[in-house]
Structure 1
Amino acid sequence: MTVQLRAGRNSDLAGVGDLHFRSRADAYRDILRPSTLEFGGDGRLGEWWTERWKWEQPTHRLTVATNGDELIGFTYLGPSPDDVTELYAIHVDPAHIGTGVGRLLMADALPHLAPRAVLWVLPGNVRARRFYERAGWHPDGETRAEKMGDENVDHIRYSWPTTP
């Protein structure tokens, strides 16, 4: 496998939405209700990403990971309401979990997150939390609840770097 990282393009957004849907369904299958996991299917997340990118492109950074013509991961980062940079998304195709794609995407994102950044993660997403902690992120005590589909979902905030 040869992984290439590049800036996301408008033509990637449908694939980003599809990958986001599959990645989320895989990561949250034992955490959220099945009806919640259905939210964004049938191309709806691709439409959502297309609309979001229209407005956020000047201030946000979308990076995609590809293997040939196959989209296998992406990151999305930009300004946070917390007046720092936020890693809004890092998703890897479930078939490529454990292959190093996530580590490449994180290594690419970290220089753009300085001097301080945050991300939000579901408390029960143990695999993601271990991944973030290995990359130097730590929970900072902040929490929030957010609507996902038909379910209120708790999140915990992680900060980077470990020293403010």
Structure 2
Amino acid sequence: MISERVNGALVIRTALPAETEAIADLHLRARSTYYPDGVPQADFDWTEAWRGSIERPDGQVLCAVVQGRIVGIASFRTPDGAPADTVKLFQFHVDPGHWRAGIGTSLHAACAEQWRADRRRAAVLDVHVDNRRAQAFYARQGWVPDPENPPAEGDHHLFLRFSVPPRE
């Protein structure tokens, strides 16, 4: 479990299976901000998908909690076929009502600390081309376009890479 406090108000920890509904709800609220025509798979059972992510033995879901309420989530694991020192950030969302409060930065720092502890050297992710806010956030955190995975014609995602800094 990871625990971090910012001004005594923010706690970052491993998500619990009982929190899947709250996590799925936050996920859909955040995603709806960058899909102009509606969230794809809006009728998909995201609660069950998040339960599966939380229970995966080869992955981890972190949540940022303020006053007992989940306000940020991050899900990562080693993607199929990737080197053991690479992790993929599959989901990273902050509740839109808590944007620009430092929660995303703190949650990202907790992810990077876990990746260091797990001896990861690189992280990868894909971000929707219309999600300019996320792209700017990731750039501020040190993510760059992945030279090994350029976007394909007609793909709606950009592929980014992060070099996990070594322990100081």
TM-score by length of structure 1 reads: 0.80
Alignment of 1:53-68 (within 5 A): 53-54=54-55, 56=56, 58-68=57-67
Report the CA distance between 1:135 and its aligned residue. 0.6
Matched, 1:49 2:50: yes
Q: Which residue of 2 aligns with 1:10?
A: 17
Report the CA distance between 1:98 and its aligned residue. 0.6
CA contact (8 A) 1:121 1:157 kept: yes
Residue deviations 1:19-50 (CA, integer Å, cap 9, x gap): 10111001x133xx22xx16335x82112212
Percent of aligned pairs sharing the same letter: 26
Q: RMSD of the TM alignment (CA)?
A: 2.3
Report the CA distance between 1:144 and its aligned residue. 5.7
CA contact (8 A) 1:23 1:91 kept: yes
Local SS of the residue matching 1:22:
helix
Q: Tell me, in whole angstroms, the C-alpha distance in 1 between the residues paired with 2:90 and 2:40.
A: 20
Q: Tell me, in whole angstroms, the C-alpha distance in 2 between the residues paired with 1:22 and 1:87.
A: 19
Q: Tell me, in whole angstroms, the C-alpha distance in 2 between the residues paired with 1:11 and 1:78.
A: 21
Q: Which residue of 2 aligns with 1:74?
A: 73
Q: Which residue identity does 1:13 align to in structure 2?
A: T
Which protein is richer in helix relative to its size?
1
Q: Which residue of 2 aligns with 1:137?
A: 143
Q: Tell me, in whole angstroms, the C-alpha distance in 2 between the residues paired with 1:17 and 1:153.
A: 25
Q: State how many pairs are aligned.
A: 149
Q: Tell me, in whole angstroms, the C-alpha distance in 1 between the residues paired with 2:89 and 2:53.
A: 15
Which protein is richer in strand relative to its size?
1
TM-score by length of structure 2 reads: 0.79
Report the CA distance between 1:123 and its aligned residue. 2.0
Q: Tell me, in whole angstroms, the C-alpha distance in 2 between the residues paired with 1:45 and 1:153.
A: 23
Higher relative contact order, chain-length normalized (CA < 8 Å, sep 6+): 1
Report the CA distance between 1:153 and its aligned residue. 5.5
Q: 1:66 to 1:162 in 2, by over 3 A?
A: closer
Which piece of structure 1 moves more, 103-112 or 1-10?
1-10
Q: Which residue identity does 1:104 align to in structure 2?
A: S
Q: Which residue of 2 aligns with 1:148?
A: none
Local SS of the residue matching 2:159:
strand
Structure 2: 5+ residue stretches without partners: 1-6
Structure 1: 5+ residue stretches without partners: 146-151
CA contact (8 A) 1:137 1:162 kept: no
Local SS of the residue matching 1:111:
helix
